[in-house]
Structure 1
């Protein structure tokens, strides 16, 4: 197939996704007098609505000695309030058929419920009460800390992969607070104080430090009066400065070797990169997203194709890059050797560098770039099939301090990236001065 025909077919395949991505549903935004930001996106395809209340507080905000506070507070929020007994809020949500959950990350703590639109006022009343009158009793805290410590043992300390990743994260984020594990270090969990947690709650759960996102079968006329009624009465309080964890310009090459009870040796590599919130030029970030997709962000990417399918020295290899962070980010590579190994970790690392150097020196073909671009744009389009995914994406942009409209402009931003942009991004950012490497070798120890 000649180049012109190839480009035409790729364009025709991309065009439907571009059209869909260019027609976002009606979205409304307003801010209550107390500072709470509210976003409403109409999606009338099903008689459901999802409510996401996110607070701009996560493990990146925690000082040494206070790690885990945000996650502990998430666990404690349902342990009783001015209107509810312990766990009563969850029972009420269950009684009206709501699916609900909560989570904590480096950047945010979020609470979300999906339910029939007629019960949205119930959710608002419960969440407004929990964010303003949570009891946070010391006895409940002691019991919940015991649960969290067991969670840490199960999910991290006794999980070889998770423990290695925790060490790796602390190494890769050399000079910023993303090195803090969301669940907290065990020695900090052993000394969480009820007064300290109360201060964290009162300072971080202020309305002005929160974003409420509603997506589903509702209108502005339905939601705004409910938001005013239940959230608008909450007192306005001072809001902490939004922390942006930023890495050193050139943190230097870092290496760590771990000996763990792994089935086969593993390799972890990461490059310190900007995110959308910290990049001087967002175009750079979109080039890095496509660079990630080309290198290892899909089964058909260069690293899996060469090292898994052709040379068969790896069982698995992938790369990840999360550009939607409040601070700087990482391009993270993880690889697992075959059993028995066909190469050692140094040899595999050298072969990976060959692929990186190829992108640093030679732009990808337009065909290869278009395939990667189509995948990313298609992911954005498919995300609209879920009201929960829509809400999560909208809330992410608002909580990291960027306008939600960037989400609807994403396909056009990706479309502007050229093969030369990919080469320049690789040459600028995938350097040894930004590299962290962890070798996980077979052997005892914890």
Structure 2
């Protein structure tokens, strides 16, 4: 692993080279595309293999295009619940043995659920790849958990919800922000599910979710590391290739209707300081129109506001005006569903939410009016480039980048062109998206009003 001093030195060198007009640095971020191979098995499973021979390790990931956005009312949280149940055994592997076997190989494994997907991974020594592929293929087709296992695990999930959301003010704030911002898309539901749905979930809900979505024709397998792609393909044919494709449920579009005015929600919960969250509806990358500049300009806008320690929001509101303890901006341009541009802040002692909101609006107004300089934007672009270089030093990071893009409909072949498009964005384009999208008509504001510790839980108020 690189030391922080070395990483800082590489970044400074990149900055100096780019600002001096040295352009070939972009190529250093790009892996040789000849080392990435894509296959489609007869049953519909997509296999992507990234060959990287720098270390004798392999990352093996299975991505299912089934996340919380595919859930229906009354069954929210089932995608995440099934993620837990996938470790509870098959016809040939006892409950808990999957993890034990990977550990015995000297590997690590886990899983995660998002709005867009559910993914499972193992990172192992290269000679163990065939074994984990057969294990993962087995539970893709032969999951076999009993009602008693489900009864125990659903309690674990409900406790996870209590710890991460119900007993955490920031979690409640985010949850209510999403539920207020969206009214049609399932993005309005929490990934972990509403507590009432978890309390009423039954084992067959999880089994039906498994039958609906866990099929080879709804999965992408990504393998990165010290491998021979053709040998990996042969192993995939011998493991995943034996499974049959299944008819998948029809996905309804559930298009979010246009927002016609600002929204606001107040959340009352035990906390030490007030918090403010502002979220604007914005576009994400359309795989059919990947050349359109707006998503790339929005990503750079987020970085201009919060891409480094002395970025605009932190400099103005934390260091100078001291109205915030922390301030963050974020935006994800790769996703299956509608996206939000977020600004989240905690109010400094002695200051008010109104002062923080006014400060944020002032920073945005200045950017919309005066724009940004070419030098400021170039520094941000080189930071993004450097970040990509560091991430691609990781075998696991390469697999993550490919898998998350593929699930959103963006081909791995587009990852480097996307990086090029980020580098091509102009200051005028950043200013243009700020003016177009960061407006009150598409804005949702969530405010946390702190309550004394131990106070009874109070409902939120939306208007």
The bucket for the TM-score relative to the shorter chain is over 0.9
Does residue 329 (structure 1) correspond to residue 324 (structure 2)? The answer is no
Does residue 247 (structure 1) correspond to residue 256 (structure 2)? The answer is yes
* Contact 1:365–1:419 (CA under 8 A) maintained in structure 2: yes
CA distance in 2, matches of 1:131, 1:95: 21
* Contact 1:278–1:328 (CA under 8 A) maintained in structure 2: no
User: 1:351 corresponds to which residue?
Assistant: 359
The C-alpha deviation readout for 1:19-76, integer Å capped at 9, x for no partner, is: 2124435100011000000000011111100000010011111111000110110100
CA distance in 2, matches of 1:14, 1:262: 49
Query: How far did residue 251 of structure 1 move?
Result: 4.6
* Contact 2:39–2:48 (CA under 8 A) maintained in structure 1: yes
CA distance in 2, matches of 1:372, 1:241: 42
Query: How far did residue 9 of structure 1 move?
Result: 5.6
Question: Which is further off, 286-295 or 24-33?
Answer: 24-33
Query: How far did residue 389 of structure 1 move?
Result: 0.9
The TM-score with structure 1 as length reference comes to 0.94
Query: How far did residue 248 of structure 1 move?
Result: 2.6
Number of aligned residue pairs: 438
Does residue 398 (structure 1) correspond to residue 406 (structure 2)? The answer is yes
Does residue 294 (structure 1) correspond to residue 310 (structure 2)? The answer is no
CA distance in 2, matches of 1:270, 1:445: 28
Segments of 5+ residues of structure 2 without an aligned counterpart are 1-14, 458-463
Structural mapping, 1:169-248, within 5 Å: 169-241=178-250, 246-248=255-257
Query: How far did residue 139 of structure 1 move?
Result: 1.5
Q: In the superposition, relative to structure 1, how do residues 126 and 395 fare at CA in structure 2: closer, same or farther (>3 Å)?
A: same
Does residue 80 (structure 1) correspond to residue 89 (structure 2)? The answer is yes
2:109 aligned residue (89, 95, 100):
100
* Contact 1:297–1:320 (CA under 8 A) maintained in structure 2: no
Query: How far did residue 195 of structure 1 move?
Result: 2.1
Does residue 415 (structure 1) correspond to residue 423 (structure 2)? The answer is yes
Query: How far did residue 16 of structure 1 move?
Result: 5.7
The C-alpha deviation readout for 1:401-429, integer Å capped at 9, x for no partner, is: 12111212232111211111011111111
SS at 1:66's partner residue? coil
CA distance in 2, matches of 1:217, 1:188: 44
The C-alpha deviation readout for 1:262-297, integer Å capped at 9, x for no partner, is: 211111111111111379563110000001111223
CA distance in 2, matches of 1:140, 1:40: 35
User: 1:386 corresponds to which residue?
Assistant: 394
* Contact 1:315–1:337 (CA under 8 A) maintained in structure 2: yes
* Contact 1:100–1:112 (CA under 8 A) maintained in structure 2: yes
CA distance in 2, matches of 1:367, 1:164: 36
The C-alpha deviation readout for 1:325-363, integer Å capped at 9, x for no partner, is: 111111111101112x2x311122112111112222232
The TM-score with structure 2 as length reference comes to 0.91
Does residue 442 (structure 1) correspond to residue 453 (structure 2)? The answer is no
* Contact 1:22–1:409 (CA under 8 A) maintained in structure 2: no
User: 1:122 corresponds to which residue?
Assistant: 131
Q: In the superposition, relative to structure 1, how do residues 432 and 117 fare at CA in structure 2: closer, same or farther (>3 Å)?
A: same
Does residue 283 (structure 1) correspond to residue 283 (structure 2)? The answer is no
SS at 2:112's partner residue? strand
CA distance in 1, matches of 2:86, 2:137: 12
Question: Which is further off, 164-173 or 17-26?
Answer: 17-26
Does residue 367 (structure 1) correspond to residue 396 (structure 2)? The answer is no
* Contact 2:169–2:448 (CA under 8 A) maintained in structure 1: no
SS at 2:123's partner residue? strand
Does residue 47 (structure 1) correspond to residue 32 (structure 2)? The answer is no
* Contact 1:267–1:335 (CA under 8 A) maintained in structure 2: yes
User: 1:314 corresponds to which residue?
Assistant: 324
CA distance in 1, matches of 2:324, 2:313: 10
Segments of 5+ residues of structure 1 without an aligned counterpart are 1-6
1:38 aligned residue (39, 47, 52):
47
User: 2:271 corresponds to which residue?
Assistant: 262
SS at 1:327's partner residue? coil
User: 1:4 corresponds to which residue?
Assistant: none
Query: How far did residue 165 of structure 1 move?
Result: 1.4
* Contact 2:172–2:267 (CA under 8 A) maintained in structure 1: no
Query: How far did residue 207 of structure 1 move?
Result: 0.6
Question: Which is further off, 188-197 or 388-397?
Answer: 188-197
Q: In the superposition, relative to structure 1, how do residues 261 and 397 fare at CA in structure 2: closer, same or farther (>3 Å)?
A: same
SS at 2:49's partner residue? strand
Q: In the superposition, relative to structure 1, how do residues 289 and 66 fare at CA in structure 2: closer, same or farther (>3 Å)?
A: same
